[in-house]
Amino acid sequence: MKISTLTYKIAWEITTNRFLLDHFYKNADQHNFICFFHQNFFYSYPAFGKKWPDGKYSEFHKLQTCCHICGEEPERNYAGYGMIFLQRTDQERMILLCENHKTGINLHGPVFKAKQLSFFKSNFYLP
């Protein structure tokens, strides 16, 4: 299933940094964004000690995150982790944006500092 908006609960399930997500959700204004590192799956469970009517104790969900505007999916590594920008809106859902469509202010500054970027470019031959 392709998705371009997330609720806090789903974002919390798939993120790699729950502390950053909590801070972002509580303190970000409309149009603030963060780099959202995430996996493309999660499990859901019934209440502790219960099982669903169909007898399952858990359920696997696969998500295909994509840009809210153009539908571009983030590149993923071998373990299924990818990066896309998560932006606050005036509603409960947050939107996902690619590099080309992100607008607003990064709540936590750039992903790499200038020194780090120059190090990577010089040592790994990045353009």
33-77 tens-digit pLDDT = 999 999 999 998 888 888 888 988 888 999 999 999 999 999 998
SS3 call for 55: coil
At 21 the pLDDT is 92
Neighbours of 101 (CB within 10 A): 15
Encoded amino acid at 30, one letter: Q
Q: 29-53: b or e for each residue (b if 16 or more CB lie within 10 Å)? A: eeebbbbbbbbbebeeeeeeeeeee
Q: pTM for this structure?
A: 0.75
